[in-house]
Copies of this chain bind each other. A is one copy, B any other.
Amino acid sequence: MPALTLAELQVQLGGTLRGDGSVLLASAASLEQAGPGQLSFVLGQKYLPQARASLAGALVAPETLAADLSGNLLLVADPHATFARALALLYPEPKPDWSIHPGAHLAQDANIGEGCRIGPGSVVESGVVIGPGCQIGPQCYIGPGVRLGADCLLHAGVRILRDCIVGDRAILHPGCIIGSDGFGLAWEADHWVKVPQVGRVVLGDDVEIGANTTIDRGALDDTVIEDGAKLDNQIHVAHNCRIGRHTAIAGCVGIAGSTRIGAYCQIGGAAMIIGHLEICDRVTVSAGSFVAKDIRTPGVYTSVQPLMPHEDWKRNAAHLRHLDSLTKRIRALEKLLKDKA
């Protein structure tokens, strides 16, 4: 790990330096855990008590808190993003000591860009084109005809199936699968016939796909994840979906086939979205919610049950089966009283 002075960080990150620019920072930690050689950060006013008590060597902090803090500070407009960039400097992605590992299996006609690394056990099939500067971890599978842009990072055990397209700077986490078959079945007489899935998955630039997430290839047309979209772990994206640019999707979400999610959306963890829907730009779906209709207006949408002690739940939940008759009974009472009046 490189150690940097606060002044060196400021050169790279911008912002206003206050205090001792020569303080050496070798790593980062939370406000509570940080010690003298460590960088930490203050997101906003509500963290002031922890910030003042912190033993951190220096803090990235919002300019607006300049008057409230002392010590070594890098004052910036956007402390979270700036701290993220500082972490990338303090903790550069480790470079393995192999380039193309002899234990990798490469098709003779695979076209591997300059400066790429490919780990042991990885398989690169025929017709693959990999842009310059990609790092492909061990045990990855790059199927026939796949194209990767520049500077992608594939962790161990990523699998991309035939003909899929990945843009520049993709980060693909372990065990994710790009381009598995969609769930296409046609019923015939007394059994299912498999519908071959002949579309592709197309990932834009700056896309991140989490561990063990699966993205199915399109049935006929493509499944598309647009630029800058970020998907967490264990998500399932079915065939022919389109996820808009800069949309962030938290873990365990399921999205059924042909649904289109707009740009700048945030989908909470474990939300489930049925197929053939349109969700417009700038929609937030709360964690655990179930989306069964188009959403045409930006905003926050929710459909979860509140948690209760189990005995309370037993008493209450039974009535959910009778809401319709309950409503009718209220209407009858209202009518009765009105008639009397």
A residues at B contact (CB < 8 Å): 27-30, 33, 78, 80-81, 83-85, 87-88, 90-91, 94, 96-97, 101, 103, 105, 119-121, 123, 125-126, 137-139, 141, 143-144, 155-157, 159, 161-162, 171, 173-175, 177, 180-181, 183-188, 190-196, 198, 206, 208, 210-212, 214, 216, 220-221, 228, 230, 232-234, 236, 238, 246, 248, 250-252, 254, 256, 268-270, 272, 274, 284-293, 295, 299-310, 312-324, 326-327, 329-330, 333-334, 336-337
How far is the CB of A258 from the nearest CB of chain B, in Å?
11
Cα separation A327 to B206 with both chains bound (whole Å): 49
Is the pair B299, A303 in contact by a Cβ cutoff of 8 Å? Answer: no
Is the pair A81, B141 in contact by a Cβ cutoff of 8 Å? Answer: no
Is the pair B323, A316 in contact by a Cβ cutoff of 8 Å? Answer: yes
What are 21 A-B residue pairs whose CB atoms fall within 8 Å in the complex? Answer: A28-B198, A33-B220, A84-B195, A121-B139, A141-B157, A157-B177, A183-B251, A232-B236, A234-B254, A238-B251, A251-B254, A274-B288, A292-B307, A300-B309, A305-B317, A306-B318, A315-B323, A316-B320, A316-B321, A326-B326, A326-B327
Supplied contacts A299-B309, A303-B305, 7 more A-B pairs, CB within 8 Å: A88-B194, A173-B177, A216-B233, A252-B252, A306-B318, A316-B320, A319-B326
Pairs of residues from A and B, 5 with the lowest C-beta to C-beta distance, nearest first = A180-B211, A81-B188, A300-B310, A80-B186, A252-B254
Neighbouring B residues of A27 by C-beta, 8 Å: 198
Neighbouring B residues of A269 by C-beta, 8 Å: 236, 238, 254, 256, 272, 274
Residue in contact with A157 in the complex, picked from B30, B120, B157, CB distance below 8 Å: B157
How far is the CB of A153 from the nearest CB of chain B, in Å?
10
How far is the CB of A249 from the nearest CB of chain B, in Å?
9
How far is the CB of A302 from the nearest CB of chain B, in Å?
4
How far is the CB of A232 from the nearest CB of chain B, in Å?
4
Neighbouring B residues of A295 by C-beta, 8 Å: 307
Cα separation A121 to B214 with both chains bound (whole Å): 22
Residue in contact with A272 in the complex, picked from B141, B192, B288, CB distance below 8 Å: B288
Is the pair A177, B175 in contact by a Cβ cutoff of 8 Å? Answer: yes
Is the pair B191, A228 in contact by a Cβ cutoff of 8 Å? Answer: yes
Is the pair A307, B302 in contact by a Cβ cutoff of 8 Å? Answer: yes
Is the pair A321, B337 in contact by a Cβ cutoff of 8 Å? Answer: no
Cα separation A28 to B329 with both chains bound (whole Å): 57
Name the residue on B nearest A40 (C-beta).
Answer: B220
Residue in contact with A230 in the complex, picked from B33, B90, B183, B336, CB distance below 8 Å: B183
Neighbouring B residues of A221 by C-beta, 8 Å: 29-30, 33
Is the pair A161, B139 in contact by a Cβ cutoff of 8 Å? Answer: no
Is the pair A319, B327 in contact by a Cβ cutoff of 8 Å? Answer: yes
Residue in contact with A307 in the complex, picked from B181, B303, B314, B334, CB distance below 8 Å: B303
